């Protein structure tokens, strides 16, 4: 029997997914004159029973990507955006449970933070005197990210951040390393340590509504522990600092089993000022942008399986 819908060639379709990428959705919630803002970039990827559209062009199983876009905006209105994770969970569940051919939904979200103009520096506390009610300035720091995957059975929530730039102007050394005939790096006993943190952490949440983490609080706490560990670790290498940041998160956040980091070592080289008759007493540096050392590792709760992909650029 020949199957007309499938070309008689020694070729088969492999992994495939489709959806609308980078839906930029801004949701304003109004509490009287005080407004709240959530600013997301939502990418939906659906997969399942999609052989026919590839082999024969039949769209019978295809929910248009245009519809996935519309769903993102409609859900922002109907359900609001409490957190990126909650919003992604809602969308993933909707696509898998409402469309028979769709078996797995992966929702990736980037969140851009805004703060009230005039807000207290620590960003905490109620809207007080001097804080604008509806005027915001985009926070120039990190981008928050999350990825929700649901196959009708199993949930995986991996959240994280990227582009969080941090620097210690002391308490960092690097010495005692291997030296071969190509080694020229001088040992450093007081150097600048700087990096642009990309991190992902995996929740051990299984989909039980009664045990859903407080996603907003969890993010703030993970960020706090990560930054405190960076600041407080007397560093003998960026690798050691990375491990301390991960360990601090695993130790303090029971909802998280795995953290992966990708840390570019943003080298700061002392400038030779001798040609100008000047001493450089650890004061003037050249901030090199490339090449950079790239230090990457996963830190796990003991006994847990690593599941975050090694290459964070694909996440
Ligand atoms: O913290 C560091 N780790 C390294 O592995 C390394 N290699 C290097 O040249 N400088 C550094 N710094």
Question: Which pTM value belongs to this model?
Answer: 0.88
Give the span between the Cα atoms of 64 and 57, in whole angstroms.
13
ipTM over 0.90: yes
pLDDT at residue 236, as a whole number: 97
pLDDT at residue 199, as a whole number: 98
pLDDT at residue 94, as a whole number: 98
Give the span between the Cα atoms of 74 and 83, in whole angstroms.
16
What are φ and ψ of residue 288, in 5° steps? Answer: -80, 140
Helix (H) or strand (E) holding 11: none
pLDDT at residue 129, as a whole number: 62
Spatial neighbors of 124 by CB under 8 A, at least 6 apart, are: none
**Residue 297 Cβ < 6 Å to ligand 1:** no
Neighbours of 143 (CB within 10 A): 16
* Per-residue pLDDT tens over the stretch 172-181: 999 999 999 9
pLDDT at residue 43, as a whole number: 97
Return the residue whose CA atom lies nearest to atom 7 of ligand 1: 293
Instruction: Kindly give the parts of the chain with pLDDT less than 50.
Output: 1-2, 123-126
Expressed in angstroms and rounded, the spacing between residue 188 Cα and the centre of ligand 1 is 10
Ligand 1 atom at shortest distance from the alpha carbon of 241: 1
Structure tokens at 233: 């670790």
Structure tokens at 181: 């005939």
> Could you give all domains of the chain from N- to C-terminal order, each with its CATH number?
16-119+130-153 (3.10.270.10), 160-314 (3.10.270.10)
3-state class (DSSP) for residue 6: coil
**Residue 293 Cβ < 6 Å to ligand 1:** yes
* Per-residue pLDDT tens over the stretch 43-64: 999 999 999 999 999 999 999 9
The verdict on whether 20 is a catalytic residue reads: yes
Q: What angle do CA 282, 270, 175 make, to 5 degrees?
A: 85
65 marked among binding-site residues: yes
The verdict on whether 268 is a catalytic residue reads: no
Half-sphere exposure of 254 (CA within 13 A, CB side): 2
Catalytic one of 20, 90, 225, 266? 20
């Amino acid at each position: 029997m020949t199957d007309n819908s499938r070309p008689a060639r020694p070729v088969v379709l492999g992994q495939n997914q489709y959806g609308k990428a980078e839906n930029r959705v801004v949701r304003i919630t109004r509490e009287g004159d005080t407004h709240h803002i959530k600013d997301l970039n939502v990418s939906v990827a659906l997969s399942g029973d999609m052989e026919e559209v590839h082999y024969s062009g039949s769209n019978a199983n295809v929910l248009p990507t245009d519809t996935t876009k519309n769903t993102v905006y409609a859900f922002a209105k109907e359900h609001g955006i409490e957190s990126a994770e909650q919003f992604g969970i809602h969308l993933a569940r909707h696509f898998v449970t409402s469309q028979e051919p769709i078996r797995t939904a992966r929702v990736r979200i980037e969140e851009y933070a805004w703060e009230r103009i005039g807000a207290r520096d620590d960003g905490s506390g109620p809207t007080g005197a001097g804080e604008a009610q509806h005027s915001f300035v985009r926070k120039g720091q990190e981008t928050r990210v999350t990825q929700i995957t649901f196959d009708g059975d199993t949930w995986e929530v991996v959240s994280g951040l990227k582009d969080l730039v941090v620097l210690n102007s002391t308490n960092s050394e690097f010495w005692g390393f291997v030296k071969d005939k190509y080694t020229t790096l001088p040992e450093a006993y007081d150097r600048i340590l700087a990096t642009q943190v990309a991190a992902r952490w995996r929740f051990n949440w299984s989909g039980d509504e009664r045990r859903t983490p407080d996603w907003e609080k969890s993010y703030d706490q993970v960020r706090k522990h990560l930054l405190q560990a960076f600041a407080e670790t007397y560093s003998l290498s960026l690798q050691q600092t990375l491990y301390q940041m991960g360990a601090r998160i695993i130790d303090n956040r029971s909802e998280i089993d795995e953290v992966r980091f990708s840390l570019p070592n943003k080298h700061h080289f002392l400038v030779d000022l001798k040609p100008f008759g000047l001493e450089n007493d650890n004061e003037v540096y050249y901030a090199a942008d490339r090449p950079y050392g790239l230090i990457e590792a996963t830190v796990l709760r003991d006994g847990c399986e690593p599941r975050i992909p090694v290459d964070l650029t694909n996440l």
